[in-house]
Structure 1
Amino acid sequence: MTDGDDASRTALRALALAVGALSVLIVVPLFQAVVLGGLLAYLAAPVNERLARRVGATAAALATTVATLAVVVAPLALLVGVAVDQAVSVVRGVEIPDTDSLAVGLREWLGAAGVPAISAGSLGDLGGIVLGGITGQITGAVGLLPTVAVGAVVTLFAFFYLLRDGDALLAWVRANGPLDASTTDELLRRTDDLLWAAVVGNVVVAALQAVLTVLGLVVVGFDDIVFWGVLTFVLSLLPLIGASFVWIPAAGYLAVTGGTVAAAGLAVYGAVVVSGSDNVVRPLAMRRGARLNPALLVVGIFGGIAVFGFLGLFVGPVVLGLGKTLVELLAADRDGARGS
């Protein structure tokens, strides 16, 4: 090996490092869109693979993309839109007690607690601050529309090309990655298990609890069931929270408003059927997936949300699970080296 070969190899590594850093900077602003496209491709891959055997990779990816938009994305967008509309209706329908008597009672309670009285001017200033904050949030949301449009386009393209070229990408990783083939295959297998547990398992359980909660609320006479269903689904994705944060307040509301029998029935139904379904369905949904330590799952979900936003629900546990897997692979390699 000559000095020229060493210099060329060093320059190639430096160039690869520089281009890699630039690539990361390019991808980071679109990270959530790319990850969302990847998650959708992961979920749709089994259907796409069967279709690709008959019509080819490109036609199958195009058909799967169109079908996903028509059957999944569009109905979900409509569902969320209806839920938002019903949320506004729920807020408007809340009966607020007489404001004068409420203000007097609040001042008396604060006075008894030793808190200085709040003047009308202070309340007006506070109201102005709140309204200003809401206005700012609305303005910011409107300003985000171009970013949302770009993210949607990137998600769509990532979804399509991962469906079409996903196998080629995995083959490229196996051939050019720094790990040997067996270690790469093991890492990919465990990643698949983690994704199944974090995405499929949690979504199935959350969807079931949302449906069961909505059925209970319909029986006791609640309206705006799309809003309650979407809210229950989102809360059920979060550990330590779940559907109980919907049916318990609902039962309390019924008890306060005079529906004692309905409140008791909803409480029993929620505790036995809704919350109990988690213990029955989750082990079945997670049978294929990796079993994450509960503490690791909680930290992964809430930490993932803090770093990645909503997608952190799924990305966080996978990242921590992969970290644990990498430590185990390193330990196995160390033990193997000692044995030899």
Structure 2
Amino acid sequence: MSGADGGATFLRLLLLVVGAVALALVAPFLQALLSAGLVAYLVAPVNRRLATRLGPTVGTTVTILATVVVAVVPLALVVGVAAEQALAVARTASLPDAAAVQAGLRPWLAPMPELDGFTGPLVDALRMGFRGLLGGVLGVLGGIPGFLVGTVVFLFALFYLLRDGERLLGWLRRAAPLDPATADRLVERTDALLWAAVVGNVAVAGVQAVLTAVGFVALGIENVVFWGLATFLLSLLPIIGASIVWLPAVGYLLLVGRVPAAAVLLVYGSVVVSGSDNLVRPLVMQRGTDLNAAVLVLGIFGGVSLFGFVGLFVGPVILGLAKSLVDVLAGIPDERHGHR
């Protein structure tokens, strides 16, 4: 083996060792880094305009501050209100219609045996549940320092991705042993996948959440902020969608004797809320790409199990990119453009 070959082999082994250590260093902050990458992707167009006028550093700083003011603060307020309303929903016994609900359920509960014999086990179960809840609260409080560290990592990563993202992309192009056409194809495919997984799904879920909240307000259903946020989160998941929120609401209206309102909500939910997917998704997907349903399901649930909430968006992108890499290696033409 020549000296040059030996040196190259040593560098490869050194890269493996250093790369493994680098991954171990980054792993605890993977969610913060992935979140920063997604946010940077979304606000990059605004940042480019500001950087042109104000300079890279000042423009990026203004972009981050504007993102916090426009997006993070309102989102935190909505989540806070939704949390309060969630507690109100949990206290069903104090709701005005609780007696009507109990009256509607009584014919179904009448055939059930008395539960007095289960009082002891029920109390024990409630006590254990309370202990678990207390342990969860303490766990959340104990995780605050880690949350603060993750927030710092997120902000720094977001800043440098916005300011130096183009340089990073250029470095990746030069470092990757790919011809320019193949590199361009992978970059374009990644952009389309990100648009579909992030912008497309969020837009559809947002529209369905707003429509659900509007319908609930019109019918006098309380705690609409909580139900709207629940609809948004559930609409991000394939198959489940917004119907898991408005269908039980239809049943609730039937139980309290509001049959006309239940019929209106059934029609409104089926046609307007759930039907909005067929109108909104094609509009937002004009720039992106349609994700196969199986890829979307596996990507979302697998992504959540690996990366937490951010996996809702990262998982489908990773699976879609894996398919694109197979297409490139196998010489399969791009379905959208028909080139190799």
Asked whether 1:210 is paired with 2:236, we answer no
User: CA contact under 8 A between 1:194 and 1:290: conserved in structure 2?
Assistant: yes
Tell me by how many angstroms 1:306 deviates.
Answer: 1.6
Q: Distance in 1 between matches of 2:202 and 2:224?
A: 19
Q: CA deviation at 1:7?
A: 2.0
Distance 1:247 1:119, change over 3 A: closer
Change over 3 Å in CA distance of 1:299–1:333 after alignment to 2: closer
- Tell me, in whole angstroms, the C-alpha distance in 2 between the residues paired with 1:108 and 1:160: 63
Q: What is the CA-CA distance between 1:90 and the residue it aligns to?
A: 1.8
Amino acid aligned to 1:149: L
Q: CA deviation at 1:121?
A: 2.2
List per-residue Cα deviations over 1:73-97 (Å, max 9, x = no partner). 1111111111101111222244567
Compute the displacement of 1:66 (Å). 0.6
**Sequence identity of aligned pairs in percent?**
54
* Distance in 2 separating the partners of 1:229 and 1:44: 25
CA shift for structure 1 position 287: 1.3
Distance 1:300 1:213, change over 3 A: same
Query: SS state of the match for residue 204, structure 1?
Result: helix
TM-score (ref. length: structure 2): 0.90
The farther-off stretch of 194-203 and 309-318 is: 309-318
Match of 2:183 in 1: 184
1:320 aligns to what?
Answer: 319
Q: Is the 8 A contact 1:198 1:318 kept in 2?
A: yes
Structure 1 residue ranges (4+ consecutive) displaced by more than 3 angstroms after TM superposition: 93-99, 105-111, 116-119
Report the residue type matching 1:191 in the other structure: T
1:120-139 equivalent positions in 2, closer than 5 A: 120-139=119-138
Distance 2:89 2:320 in 1: 40
1:249 corresponds in structure 2 to 248
Offset, 1:242: 1.1
* Equivalence for 1:83: 82
Q: 1:309 Cα shift?
A: 1.2
Shift of 1:180: 2.6
Query: Cα offset for 1:192?
Result: 0.3
Match of 2:40 in 1: 41
* Equivalences for residues 1-340 of structure 1 within 5 A: 3-94=2-93, 109=112, 119-332=118-331
- Paired residue type of 1:43: L
Q: Give the gaps of 5 or more residues in structure 2.
A: 334-340
Q: How many Å apart are 1:181 and its aligned residue?
A: 2.4
Query: Aligned-pair RMSD on alpha carbons?
Result: 2.3
Displacement, 1:147? 1.0
Q: State the alpha-carbon separation in 2 of the partners of residues 234 and 29 from structure 1.
A: 25
Partner secondary structure for residue 109 of structure 1: coil
Secondary structure (helix, strand or coil) at the match of 1:242 reads coil
Matches of 1:333 and 1:86 in 2, distance apart? 52
- Describe the superposition over 1:99-146 as per-residue Cα deviations: whole angstroms up to 9, x where unpaired: 9xx9xx9797369xxxx9953322222222211211111111111111
How far apart in 1 are the matches of 2:307 and 2:220?
A: 38
Cα 1:110–1:22, aligned 2, differ >3 Å: closer, same or farther?
A: farther
Q: How many residues align?
A: 326
Q: Distance in 1 between matches of 2:35 and 2:275?
A: 31
- Please give the alpha-carbon distance, in whole angstroms, between the structure 1 residues aligned to 2:205 and 2:307: 20
Describe the SS at the equivalent of 2:169: helix
Report the AA paired with residue 128 of structure 1: R
Task: Tell me, yes or no, if the aligned pair for 1:303 and 1:316 is still in contact at 8 Å.
Answer: yes
Kept in 2: contact 1:107–1:118 (CA 8 A): no
Moved more, 161-170 or 132-141: 132-141
The residue type equivalent to 1:218 in the other structure is: V
Q: Secondary structure at the match of 1:289?
A: coil
TM-aligned CA distance change 1:32 to 1:110, over 3 Å: farther
Quick one: which amino acid aligns to residue 252 of structure 1?
Answer: G
AA matched with 1:109: M
CA distance in 2, matches of 1:19, 1:236: 41
Equivalents in 2 of 1:263, 1:133: separation in Å? 37
Contact between 1:107 and 1:117, CA under 8 Å: does it hold in 2?
no
CA distance, structure 2, for counterparts of residue 326 and residue 150 of structure 1: 35
